[in-house]
A and B are shown apart, each in its own frame.
Chain A
Amino acid sequence: MSQPTGIGQPGVLVTPQQAKPAISNGFFSLDNRYIAPLFITCILIAGHLSFGILESYKKTGIAIVASLLTELLLGRIFKGQWPNLASAYISGISVGILVRSLAFWPYVLCAVISIMSKYVLRVNGRHIWNPSNFGISVLLFLAPATVAGLSIQWGNYLLPMLVVWVLGSVSIARLHRFHITGTYVACFIVFAFLRSFLTGDPWQSEIAPLTGPMYQLFIFFMITDPKTTVHSKKWQCIVVALVAFVEMLLRLDHVVYAPFYALFIVGPAAMLIEMWLASRRTVPAQVTA
């Protein structure tokens, strides 16, 4: 059984070669599983200090705590051991950044649902939804009067955006998952021009969302989650292109949180198809054996 993982846990995919002590010979040999948490924490702190992206530390803090406690509790109950908390930390911090609500309860609820989904929504021992994608999508869909997505910006300015893009790209490349991010961005741009052609809206307005922080978190932390993406590199690219395609369809229907919902739909479907194909390959092999 695989380790339950959280949102955007590129760092949790640990190959034998990569498995090192948490912090070994200095920063640059930092265990990969801690790169994502470190990066997202830096984004959070820099974003808040420069642009106040958090209305309060309390809400983000409560999301992180709720996420960690849920992971500890469920990990202990269902796995019989204390789990590694890196993924739960990312889940909590993602919820803390991406969920915007004036109340406290959505942060707790979203974090708890996100972590629980890893333990409940499982097929053949694998969880099929990216946890924070699941939690955020559910809340945005079911509690729209109380919950919105991240709307506050990095000042809509170029420099903060470039810093996040460069650091994010370096981090994700180190985890050998830049192809996912790159494919998605390329597809998004192509589909943006297609949407512009179809709707007559300026292409700049179709490209605009990509320049905001919600997308930066989405493309670096959510769609690259190794536990909820298919295995082969080629199919990872195809699946993420499909996410972008479904997102385009949702956008044509004026769905504000199209990327979250697109991943919510496509991600598990791809996982299920992969499992089904794998089972079909396994069965004949067993028969011939």
Chain B
Amino acid sequence: MKRGPTARIILAIIFAGLVFSPLIARRLAARRESAKTQLDLQTALARHGFYLQEVSHAAGVNFVHQAPTLDPQLNHIMPQVASMGASVSIVDFDRDGWPDMYVTTSKEGGKNALYRNMHDGTFKDVAQELGVADVNQPGTGVSMGAVWGDYDNDGYEDLLLIKWGKPELFHNDAGHGFTRVTEQAGLPPWINANTALWFDYDGDGLLDLFIGGYYPEDVDLWHLSSTKMMPDSFEYAKNGGRKYLFHNLGNGKFEEVSEKLGINSRRWALASVAADLRGTGHPDLFIANDYGASELYINDGHRFHEVGEQAGVGFAPKSGMNASFGDILNQGRYSVYVSNISEAGVLIQGNNLWVPKEGAGGGQLQFENLARDFGVEIGGWSFGAQFGDLNNDGTLDLYLTNGYVSLDHNKSYWYDFSKIAGGHSAIINDAKNWPAMQGRSLSGYQSKHLWLNDGSGKFVDVAQAVGVTDTYDGRAVAMADLWNRGVLDVIVANQRGPLLIYKNTVTPENKWIEFALEGTKSNRSAIGAQVTVFWNGQLQSQEVSGGSGFAAQSQRRLHFGLGKFPKIEKAVIRWPSGKIQTIDAPAPNELHEVKEPA
């Protein structure tokens, strides 16, 4: 060495400092996190403008999801295979102006629930009497999710139930009951589906239907012909279920047109969302895939084109489990949030917030992942998420639930999971090669995230501070103004856990406006209709969705927070038919019921 001991000592000190700097940073971060939890609800109201209280029992809702018991050949890994099926969808099925809830269980013989809103703060399960409860009979598969849409434009929302098994379509008989019309509609006998949505892809005024397969459709999970039914890669799997696009023929029948219109994928779809991402008037389709990259199908009005890789969302493979969209920067353009897996010390995929790039539009749609910059990247083993203005301050916030398998608190399956996940396809593909879980947890007991949007590109997690303290294995998140108070409540369906209703209390200083749309030339559910509210020199766009998040559907009604002292210039409605309707100076703190002009 050319330098003497002094230089070497200095170098050693710097080296030691660098080596231990992550430890110091971790301690500081932990201290900051712990400080966040020390707020009471009134402080939360003052500081963040709202708080949440879990009121399911008080509301008469005591629903607990139960998992299925699949083929005994999967017994050793049953908790992680039978790990989905808790879902929630919001619907006003009886058109009384109050949101109702449909929730699924996944135990063979278990009953789904349709909670009718009793207008007094409580709900009553009417699924059995209306014929949509007993839908998990052995041999028909079990429920995985449900989406509502008025496919025949009779004014009442109909129910599509997806299962690992036989999908079911129920016609809503004027809110008095449901008639099973699956065969007449022409749905296939078996799909192992985890995602579905209603949308009018061709603008003919009739709601069409997308269903995304997870396991291949020839797999009966209760009677396996082979244990080689797992993904053939942890991040590049293409041996999942096929995708279905059902074109509504208008006579109660649907025609399957996916391949004809360019949707031909066997990735493992877990979530999908449709929205007009390019401002063309045609809804595009975003699919979040487990074990692989996301797919983005742009809609030219006639067929779909998969442009995920070109658009930037479909190159780096992760474990997509959610797709929801929101105009988070109040620019009239939608960002898409995709949830993935992050487990400290093992796997840090990070969630994706795909924000449209400036200047990109038309056929040049491009996104960049700004989840880290915006602070919504790390969410544990993330599942469902939804955007919504929870404190009515005029910007969309983000609620994320998470947690995969919560069993033994002190034993983790992660080591074995990581061991097999890196293996060759022939190993990972065969369930019998997977080590037994033996009651161990896999990213269990996780804290939830509720990120408040400050409007300038930063989200701050306030979940613990505002009362979101559960650690169930969360799956589906939906938002709705359950009691017509001008606030968004949050409903969370948990795997092998209770349905949670987080009732929202928002500072009255912050104003709001809501729109309930009804199509005439467009589909009557108005799915795909976009409302842009202009106020105080800013704007925000929202679109009626036929299903978003993970196994969820929020209310069809659109809710905008406006902040203090709003002066609303106008609301512009772009109907799926292409018609543009402008409402000048609509009053705040009101629900506006708008019918598409003739």
Contact = CB atoms under 8 A, between A and B. Distances in A.
B423 A101 contact: no
B419 interface: yes
Interface in A83-120: 100-103, 106, 109, 112-113, 116-117, 119-120
A51 B315 CA distance: 8
Contact of B418 (A74, A101, A151, A161): A151
B415 A212 contact: no
Nearest to B371: A102
Contacts of B1: 1, 78-79
A256 interface: yes
A143 B434 CA distance: 28
A268 interface: no
B234 A153 contact: yes
Nearest to B432: A202
B345 A205 contact: no
A207 B420 CA distance: 9
Contact of B422 (A55, A139, A143, A212): A212
B438 to A, nearest CB: 9
B26 A145 contact: yes
Interface in B522-564: none
B22 interface: yes
Contacts of A52: 315-317
Interface string A135-152: 000111011111110011
Interface in B400-450: 412, 414-416, 418-428, 430, 432-436
A161 B424 contact: yes
Contacts of A55: 316
B21 interface: yes
Interface stretch (B11-19, B260-268, B493-501): B11-19
Contacts of B416: 201, 205, 254
B377 interface: yes
Interface residues of B, number: 57
Interface string A246-281: 000001001110000000000000000000000000
Given A112-B18, A209-B419, A148 B345 contact: yes
A274 B2 CA distance: 27
B248 interface: no
B236 A116 contact: no
Contact of A155 (B20, B21, B233, B347): B233
Nearest to A157: B425
A256 B418 contact: yes
B227 to A, nearest CB: 11
A156 B345 contact: no
Interface in B224-255: 232-236
B348 A147 contact: yes
Contact of A102 (B345, B348, B435): B348
Contact of B15 (A113, A158, A212): A113
A80 B4 CA distance: 12
B12 A120 contact: yes
Nearest to A210: B423
Contacts of A206: 419
B18 A116 contact: yes
Contact of A78 (B2, B20, B424): B2
Nearest to B309: A52
B538 to A, nearest CB: 31
Interface in B164-217: none
A147 B350 CA distance: 11
Considering residues A209, A214, A255, which has the most beta carbons from chain B within 10 angstroms of its beta carbon? A209
A198 interface: no
Interface in B6-49: 7-8, 11-12, 14-15, 18-23, 25-26, 29
A283 interface: no
Contacts of A116: 11, 14-15, 18
Nearest to B351: A102
Interface string A199-218: 11110111111011010000
B2 A117 contact: no
Contacts of B316: 52, 55, 152
A205 B344 contact: no
Contact of B347 (A146, A148, A208): A148
A211 B415 contact: no
Nearest to B433: A204
Contacts, number: 166
Given A201-B416, A201-B435, A211-B427, A153 B345 contact: no
A212 B419 CA distance: 10
B424 A138 contact: no
A289 interface: no
A46 to B, nearest CB: 15
Contacts of B223: none
B235 A153 contact: yes
Contact of B377 (A102, A139, A148): A102
A143 B22 contact: yes
A146 B421 CA distance: 20
B428 A156 contact: yes
A51 B234 CA distance: 12
A256 B415 contact: yes
Contacts of B345: 140, 144-145, 148, 256
Contacts of B20: 142
B423 A209 contact: yes
Given A79-B2, A140-B345, A142-B23, A156 B317 contact: no
Contacts of A80: 2
B372 A157 contact: no
Interface in A190-235: 199-202, 204-209, 211-212, 214
A77 interface: yes
Contacts of B436: 200-201
A144 B15 CA distance: 20
B303 to A, nearest CB: 27
Contact of B427 (A74, A144, A208): A208
B598 interface: no
A254 B19 contact: no
Nearest to B414: A256
A22 B26 CA distance: 44
B294 to A, nearest CB: 13
A100 B348 contact: yes
Nearest to A76: B2
B1 to A, nearest CB: 5
A166 to B, nearest CB: 16
A255 B415 contact: yes
B423 A208 contact: yes
B302 interface: no
Given A79-B2, A109-B22, A101 B235 contact: no
Given A156-B423, A256-B415, 17 more contacts: A51-B236, A78-B8, A79-B2, A100-B347, A102-B377, A120-B8, A142-B22, A142-B26, A144-B345, A144-B346, A153-B234, A153-B236, A200-B436, A202-B435, A205-B435, A208-B422, A212-B422
> Which 5 A-B residue pairings sit nearest by Cβ, starting from the closest?
A208-B423, A144-B345, A143-B22, A212-B422, A254-B415
8 contacts: A102-B378, A113-B15, A119-B11, A145-B345, A151-B349, A153-B235, A153-B422, A158-B426
